[in-house]
Structure 1
Amino acid sequence: MNWAGPLEDQTRRLLSKIVAPAAGVATQAVTIARPRATVERFWRDPDNLSAVLDGIAQVTATDSDRLTWSFAEGTAAATQWVTHTVVAADEIRFVGSHDSAGRSQIRLLFADAPKDLGTEVTIRVAGPLPKQLTAPAAFTALYRARALLQTGEAPTLAHNPSGRRDAADQEA
């Protein structure tokens, strides 16, 4: 009796039930202590997008309203996503060029923060990846954007000494 076939089918059905509901929309929000016009301009620049997505994606402009997002650059699993940019009142959307239904998109919503405290930015990421993967990336992008806009630099652990001696020092 061949038991591998039915087991494989059951595994595939189970995985589709686990992963499919998780795919969808991840939403994060942050208040940035900068004027709204400055914040909106920041998100339109592909170099800034690459900076906030450092380690996640590299963003390059292909046309005036098209961007290419390269994920996992330098690996065998490198993926590219081409988007067109839609700018409307209070929002910027990066919509997948090959997605006529607009299901794969990054949507940034802008609002004035209360008491002139800056700009409230909400990011909604909708795509084929599970929410467990998109939510941390959305949070990281907002966190880094806020740091860049408010301080001029993004937080990083690069070149951060741990205070421990390296293996070569311990052998001596």
Structure 2
Amino acid sequence: MDVTHKARGVLASAREAAGRVLPGRAAEKNPLDPSRPGPHGVSQTLTIARPPQEVLTACRDPRVLSRLLGDLGRVETGEGDRITFVLSSEGEEMSVDTRAVEREDGVEFRRLADPVAGDGDAEVARPEDDTEGGPTGAAGESALLAVRVLPAPRDLGSEVRFELDLPAGAVAFTLLYRLRALLQTGEIPTLRPQPAAREEDR
């Protein structure tokens, strides 16, 4: 299954869907704005045959998160505890500044409050998103990505749940699929053509 292709397609087509999903934003030039919360959260759960602590350690590492995103984007560290998700869609890049917040059962990457227009030093508090779709934290913050890790039944490893506040369910599955492959095999699968050792006679 080409989950990367499917995820890219969903993320790219989300611009059109966002006009219906995000009320009042259809007229904007870029309705898919991952820096702002909305009632469009998705979640996926997968069993990974690794201990919960190992899974959590991987999910906290920006380098691992960048590998999971692949051609969908990257994750960068900034000053202090700032972690920036740079998401790619149709040749455009959209940045979301977050901070990692530890939870008893996982970690959340919560959006930082937006600067007030015309005042780069002040920040505006964003009301909590109390919809079912978006995981939330303190007032003015909502989680772009929330990771929940619990022991799987019958000692099968970990039950890992990704909650992603974007109208793109396939992306959440892609990240989990790649995380499982990376932790269980040490590699992330790819369908890109590989150089052949010999020429075909065809």
- Name 1:33's counterpart in structure 2: 49
Pair 105,152 (structure 1): closer, same or farther in 2 beyond 3 Å: same
Q: Deviations over 1:41-87 (max 9, x none)?
A: 00010010000110111101114532111122893x22111101101
Alignment of 1:37-48 (within 5 A): 37-48=53-64
Equivalent residues of 2:21, 2:40 under 8 A apart: no
| 1:66 alignment partner AA | R
Per-residue deviation, 1:158: 2.1
| 2:186 alignment partner AA | G
- Name 1:20's counterpart in structure 2: 22
> Between Structure 1 and Structure 2, which shows a larger proportion of helix residues?
1
Q: 3-state SS of the aligned residue for 2:74?
A: strand
Q: 3-state SS of the aligned residue for 1:72?
A: strand
Q: 3-state SS of the aligned residue for 1:78?
A: strand
TM-score, normalization by structure 1? 0.74
Task: Name the count of aligned residue pairs.
Answer: 146
**Inter-partner Cα distance in structure 2 for 1:38 and 1:159:** 31
**Inter-partner Cα distance in structure 1 for 2:72 and 2:78:** 19
Pair 88,159 (structure 1): closer, same or farther in 2 beyond 3 Å: same
**Inter-partner Cα distance in structure 1 for 2:106 and 2:148:** 4
Q: Deviations over 1:100-155 (max 9, x none)?
A: 4334521111100011110110011124xxx3xx2111100000000000000001
- 1:136 correspondence with 2:170: yes
Alignment partner of 2:183 out of 118, 124, 149: 149
| 2:162 alignment partner AA | I
Q: Deviations over 1:21-52 (max 9, x none)?
A: 79511010001000111000000100100001
Pair 74,64 (structure 1): closer, same or farther in 2 beyond 3 Å: farther
**Inter-partner Cα distance in structure 1 for 2:170 and 2:67:** 16
**Inter-partner Cα distance in structure 2 for 1:141 and 1:30:** 10
Larger radius of gyration: 1
**Inter-partner Cα distance in structure 2 for 1:16 and 1:26:** 14
Please report the RMSD computed on the Cα atoms of aligned residues, expressed in angstroms: 2.9
TM-score, normalization by structure 2? 0.64
Per-residue deviation, 1:98: 1.9
Moved over 6 A (4+): none
